[in-house]
Structure 1
């Protein structure tokens, strides 16, 4: 983000030179001379996003279907990737396809270095995309990021503790959730372990109320934690958080909530489904005793809103192989490989109609059900700077420790507004 302003002019110059060169030569940059071998496409995939076995299957399958194309898949480290992608977008030798975090697309689009794929969304089943993945990839009405996969939080619960409390079915509404958690929060049992700064969970409650963390008004972004909707979401968070012993001044990593749950006296925790595996590693005696359900909504007809994490696929404007790059994106985002990846990695597919691919796994099925109500953080390149200091966390702790919610909301909103406008 620090280099975004610096690279904008460089990117524009590169694009202009490339355009003039293409026009003067009259040639198609994707064209090959007769007798040349397959065209090599460079694809950047982030470390641990998918397994080596999946990538090998995809590469072999893709090349069998596209005899004129060959894939050079390069694994990238998350550490420092922002600067590396920004530099690549401003270069004349960019990779052809890049996996990026779904909330990073706005940052890269601001450089002017991404290919606009708006006219391809119909071909890619864009009407069926998960909103939480599709929205961050759409900047100023143009689709730059193509949804690849998603993951979101669910409620992991201790089945035996539910049985002891005579709770026969997971709650489907907020009211039922509070009622069940009150029954669970007895004796040595914590009804739920919810730290005071789990701000992604708070975001979902705010979205359910019709609010947001920040809103755009006339091209200017403003913090919105002081709105009635945000304060209502925080009020519910406080009710739920009080039914356990979670710290009010830290998040789910301090201490690691999986370790807390693994002690066996916690009835519920909010986590991605994979958190259950970590819990079972900490306490093997809990294996087979954990269940999952979507975060409940205000009404029983749909789950609560959740933050959708995941990845998008982008094509740099400087890619010399635009047609081939699109074929890679189309394949990775299509039904065949979305279904394969969902079953292999337990990710939520990018299309709501493919949620059935996870039906055999309880945790993944709960995640897929919640993903239909997925949302993303405010779609502005400066949101990453907000997260760096995170006034949302400070707002939550202030309210939970007795500060007037409206006063705390005004202060946090002012901080967010200042950062987004900087």
Structure 2
């Protein structure tokens, strides 16, 4: 999931590969010394122009060389775990926002309390703190929106919705007036479900003292699943697959008349490219996931990345200086501008101004209602296949007793989430 979330930014707005001083693409190498620091950034997370300009400015100011090593998401958790257990392997590193708490709990990340008073975006800050201590700094966020085929919606007389009720009305019009599939929604898109549960004030799991408990068998869980079921009834998708199997953007959408779907920026770009490769022309529009009322948008999973300093950095002083510069108002604004507004800013004094009608515009509108899964090291165990939330969703969509299906999932979530 993490690869997809970051790639959402990469395909939508970052079209160049990361390159910087000392990067040989191997992902290996040593950490900082008195005259250099090593920075690990993930493939696709930053435009080349921003990285190069930042490092040039840093080297001119401090006389210290910055060696950026590009990392791939595949296998990154093991590489980071190893690096954080060694002296001087890496100084500054990018970490997925849902992974930060796990690394902080191992003692591998430096305390960044000196940065606490900066105007960070509050809904991104939770993933960077553990028990009130700041172990990482927010860098950027990205989230899903609804992608729709403008021509199909126009033929159906459907209008862009501002509430859940209007959304259902639009899908009904498409169903009645066209031969298109009103919405493609796999049975197991559990982060989409998580947003609907968050709309009801719920979550996948809740903390009870020092432990966690699954929270699907609750009024919020049932209400969220009920709305998911209502949307999914307009889809031809099976109930036992997710958005990646088959890949909705490159395998499903280009293959047939799909009026709308819920996806990330990289998926929208991928669908456009796949349609054009077939000789067609994509005519997509975008809107935020609607909320229960027009006053508030629907909650969306806010993926993204943080930046941290290794507790065993080879050059901690310069690592802190690089982090301070990279996340400052000046360079954070340059980062957003380099991505054409296609990321959720990390600071309240940074603005994103994406072009009208773009995926980025719809995405940024939802930033204030982003949600995160339970921020605990054990959450990774829950997402391991077979994922109990996915299995619950299929059972619920197939007509099983809700409480029985949710109770079974909660039991498994509770077991896994408390196992670090």
Whether TM-score is above 0.5 comes out as yes
Alignment map for 1:19-34 (pairs within 5 Å): none
Partners of 1:196 and 1:250 within 8 A in 2: yes
Q: Identify the residue that residue 171 of structure 1 maps to in structure 2.
A: 161
Cα distance in 1 between the residues matched to 2:49 and 2:191 = 32
Q: Identify the residue that residue 80 of structure 1 maps to in structure 2.
A: 75
Q: Identify the residue that residue 120 of structure 1 maps to in structure 2.
A: 115
User: Which sections of structure 1, spanning at least 5 residues, go unmatched?
Assistant: 1-36
Choose from 255, 259, 272 the match for 2:246: 255
Pick closer, same or farther for the CA change 1:337–1:357 going to 2, 3 Å: farther
SS in 1 for 2:193: helix
Choose from 363, 367, 375 the match for 1:367: 363
Cα distance in 1 between the residues matched to 2:322 and 2:369 = 28
Alignment map for 1:14-413 (pairs within 5 Å): 39-64=35-60, 66-122=61-117, 124-126=118-120, 129-131=121-123, 133-168=124-159, 170-186=160-176, 187-258=178-249, 259-284=251-276, 287=281, 289-345=283-339, 346-360=342-356, 362-389=358-385, 390-413=387-410
Q: Report the alpha carbon displacement of residue 288 of structure 1 after superposing the two structures with TM.
A: 5.5
Q: Report the alpha carbon displacement of residue 286 of structure 1 after superposing the two structures with TM.
A: 5.6
TM-score when scaled to structure 1? 0.85
User: Which sections of structure 2, spanning at least 5 residues, go unmatched?
Assistant: 1-32
Q: Report the alpha carbon displacement of residue 341 of structure 1 after superposing the two structures with TM.
A: 2.7
Cα distance in 1 between the residues matched to 2:355 and 2:134 = 30
Cα distance in 2 between the residues matched to 1:356 and 1:148 = 14
SS in 1 for 2:165: helix
Cα distance in 2 between the residues matched to 1:105 and 1:218 = 21
Q: Report the alpha carbon displacement of residue 264 of structure 1 after superposing the two structures with TM.
A: 4.7
Q: Identify the residue that residue 7 of structure 1 maps to in structure 2.
A: none
Q: Report the alpha carbon displacement of residue 355 of structure 1 after superposing the two structures with TM.
A: 4.0
Q: Which deviations, in whole Å up to 9, do the C-alpha atoms of 1:276-307 show, x marking residues without a partner?
A: 22112221266451011111111212211111
Cα distance in 1 between the residues matched to 2:168 and 2:351 = 28
Partners of 1:138 and 1:145 within 8 A in 2: yes
TM-score when scaled to structure 2? 0.86
Q: Identify the residue that residue 18 of structure 1 maps to in structure 2.
A: none
Q: Report the alpha carbon displacement of residue 405 of structure 1 after superposing the two structures with TM.
A: 1.1
User: What is the alpha-carbon root mean square deviation over aligned residues?
Assistant: 1.9
Partners of 2:343 and 2:352 within 8 A in 1: no
Partners of 2:139 and 2:327 within 8 A in 1: yes
Partners of 2:119 and 2:348 within 8 A in 1: no
Q: Identify the residue that residue 34 of structure 1 maps to in structure 2.
A: none
Larger radius of gyration: 1
Cα distance in 2 between the residues matched to 1:356 and 1:102 = 20
